[in-house]
Structure 1
């Protein structure tokens, strides 16, 4: 389960009108049905704030619409909210998945808020528990398949934490086949290097790089694309950033989870900068200034006069 949120009404409306029913994809001939709470009531009470979930169960045998309705029902029981929500099942990728949007205010007028524990543990437990109830316990082969997925995950895993805990002088010795497969995959990502025997060295920023990719799913691919060190811009620590826009990555909820820019600063360092709003593709090669003002990140729009 993945979640993103926004405070943008235009994004909210576009997601509901275009993305859920896949009206933005001409190649999808059989459009999915949108379901959830009453559509008219949802639109009448739409707020800028909204949450978007992607639910992609391991089992592809689930009756997805029924499953999603049960997941939302359990989420309501857990949080005490009575959601305005809409959803659709998308079948245009190898893994059937559902997109769910929840309005930022519920039917009682309460503002919806999810704390970290609710998102990372309780909702995951709800989704996985309901899937098990519907299709039954997983077989040994299915559990092994899950472990295999962890070895190629582009985020911080429990295996990574174990490896980092045993790191000595920049190197670690693998103790199992799963650890070896994980290290070989990290080597493909240029985050580990085979040193001989059972030993691998790990990138000094392995955990922070994987954490960045867990939050911004194209961070690693973008980093490897440019074949140089890509830094995640942290306004609270780095302050003002001046540079040239190298690439614009606008959110589409499938490939890109967030809007972001790749910026090369005046010292020739490359930064990945998440943004609240999409940027026009024509901004590439233009100068931009990002600075902190009153504890908020302020992005000065690129100007034509600053084009390089």
Structure 2
């Protein structure tokens, strides 16, 4: 380009591109991350990155201006749920849980309500929010909820104030919970404003504005806390083994990790001075603080995480003691072991360890005489584990055999189904069809593909990484939270003792009761096995010879066939369809109509048009209700064909 041309050169910017929701969402995510990192450094309302993005940022600056130290205290936990990531069943599962049995004031089921109704239509609420991008879920927990008495009216007033702060009508449902020592309210708020646009709430309003509004309202209703109430509340915190308000005050007043005498002597801390000193002495006995010189204390850096962990442990212990109802057991928290050791027991309690994030737990009365606290994997459905059901809990961090096979068969990082089929044919046994073996590995590859671990290059051809086994193990550990829970029987052992069907008790009889202790569930299971033996004798399936019991040949198969025959007879009478029994090695196809829970396990009803068949159920088909499926049964195990099938 010549100098003359260079002089004539002018930049002509094009029209600005339409950013759209995707760009805005990206900005919000990044500012949210930045705010999480810099929030403590910025400190004040309106100074955190992204604090003014969204509705309510002005109200957050003025809410609570008139609140003094004697205002009613309030805890609000908020969660923003991305519905696309949480899954289509997330809202239904959350609403079902907060409406569960035993949470209202009389011990009955929770009842959802809204702004204008005491009986909210949850199905209509879910339908209206089916296409929402996100949803807000929060828990409002007033310290003096018992004195408020009418949480429903209080929640409606609070939501009305939020509408004024946010400048839009809000669509929400709520459920009051009275089943804990701290009554609280669950609120589910749609992520749309009254114009149908995405509802974006400023970070500062979520972090502080909501809590200040709730505190203002409670203070207006009940009046300010009295000096006696405040003193008693702080006195209770002195000896507690958790992170308390006194600890937060000490953390705030410490300079370079030291709490000095002149700090505690300040007039604004005069009322708390003796309690703060008492708390420091308590922390010293716990090894979390030390007195450097008279009146000067150093609070250790690990004090906060340690106290928070102790608080969680205390909550777990209290939860387990309530679930065991006075039954004496050694208490243990299940941790996956390197040797793959599992525990077997009955479910005596369940619930959410974190009601906001739907993180569930089970209390399992084990055959080893201990009560185990089991933290469930994310998105676990508590309905899968009925109280009284027999479950097996083990670690899920082991490398899968399928991943090992794929890695071995992948030459130069390429796995081919035709090559695997040829290998499987050479190793075929009567109970393992080579096609089913390959199909199972393809299903695993599809799951790993969705996780971005493998790549499908063509039909039946996959590119796999060299470290497939380890990455597959990490994927399972992240997805399952390191814990896998399998239901061995949904029936309590008391019902298993006298039922037609192949039960867990029958398996224990065949195995001689190995692994059953004499305490707790182990002892109860041994008594139930004796009752089961008497029942089997009456059915002609067992004989006593002295001190020993001789069980019928193929006991489990006989019991299963009898139960299936009766279940099929009942379904045939109900539907008018003919039952078509499934033989070993037979392939059956039909529309998946429903599942049937039997003592022998769960079965799927396949409607083939001319009749129906009952096929062992697997979780993989649960989302396929009403769809055409096919299955093959070999040696008691089932292989399901999902979607369009192609030959190898």
Q: What residue number does 1:154 align with?
A: 243
For residue 229 of structure 2, what is the aligned residue in structure 1?
A: 142
What's the counterpart of residue 286 of structure 1? 396
Contact 1:82 1:106 in 2 (8 A): yes
The answer as to whether partners of 2:191 and 2:199 remain within 8 angstroms in 1 is yes
**Would you say the 8 A contact 2:102–2:179 is kept in 1?**
no
- Partner residue of 1:252? 352
Segments of structure 2 that go 5 or more residues without pairing to the other structure are 1-75, 265-272, 317-334, 338-349, 361-376, 383-390, 400-450, 453-471, 484-648
Aligned equivalents of 1:145 and 1:34: distance in 2?
Answer: 35
1:72-151 aligned within 5 A: 72-148=159-235
Partner of 1:58: 143
| TM-aligned CA deviation for residue 118 of structure 1 | 0.6
Residue correspondences, number? 259
Structure 1 partner of 2:89: 10
The aligned residue for residue 108 of structure 2 is: 30
User: 8 Å contact 2:193–2:199 — kept in the other structure?
Assistant: yes
Please list, as runs of the form range in 1=range in 2, the aligned pairs for 1:132-281 lying within 5 A after superposition: 132-148=219-235, 152=240, 154=243, 158-165=248-255, 167-168=257-258, 175=264, 176-184=273-281, 186-187=283-284, 191-193=288-290, 197-206=294-303, 209=305, 213=308, 221=312, 252=352, 257=357, 259=359, 277-278=379-380
Q: Give the conservation status (yes or no) of the 8 Å contact 1:50–1:103.
A: yes
Separation in 2, partners of 1:86, 1:253: 22
Q: Secondary structure at the match of 1:36?
A: coil
Q: CA separation in 2, counterparts of 1:224 and 1:138?
A: 27
| 2:643 alignment partner in structure 1 | none
1:161–1:35 distance in 2 versus 1, CA, 3 Å: same
Query: Taking structure 1 as reference, are residues 279 and 64 closer, same or farther at Cα in structure 2, changes over 3 Å only?
Result: closer
Match in the other structure for 1:301: 476
Determine if contact 1:91/1:97 at 8 Å carries over to the other structure: yes
Aligned residues of 1:85 and 1:103 also touching (Cα < 8 A): yes
Q: Which has the higher contact order (CA 8 A, sep 6+)?
A: 1
RMSD: 4.5
Q: Contact 2:102–2:109 at 8 Å: present in 1 too?
A: no
Is the CA contact 1:6–1:50 (under 8 Å) kept in the aligned structure 2?
yes
Q: Matches of 2:172 and 2:234 in 1, distance apart?
A: 33
**Structure 1 unaligned residues grouped into runs of 5+:** 226-243, 261-274
CA distance in 1, matches of 2:277, 2:133: 46
- 2:284 and 2:90 map into 1 onto residues whose CA distance is 38
Query: 2:101–2:108: 8 Å Cα contact kept in structure 1?
Result: no
| CA deviation profile, 1:49-77 (whole Å, cap 9, x unmatched) | 32222212122221211100011111111
If each structure's helix is expressed as a fraction of its own residues, which one has the higher value? Answer: 2
Shift of 1:123: 0.7
1:48, 1:113 → 2: CA distance? 11
Q: CA deviation at 1:100?
A: 1.2
Q: Is the 8 A contact 1:81 1:112 kept in 2?
A: no
8 Å contact kept, 1:259–1:277: yes
Q: What is the TM-score with the length of structure 2 in the denominator? A: 0.33
Deviation track 1:170-207 (CA, whole Å, cap 9, x = no partner) reads x7668322322333454576533466854544222445
The CA deviation at 1:5 is 3.0
State the secondary structure of the residue aligned to 1:204: coil
2:153 aligns to what SS in structure 1?
helix
TM-score, normalised relative to structure 1: 0.64
Aligned with 1:4: secondary structure? strand
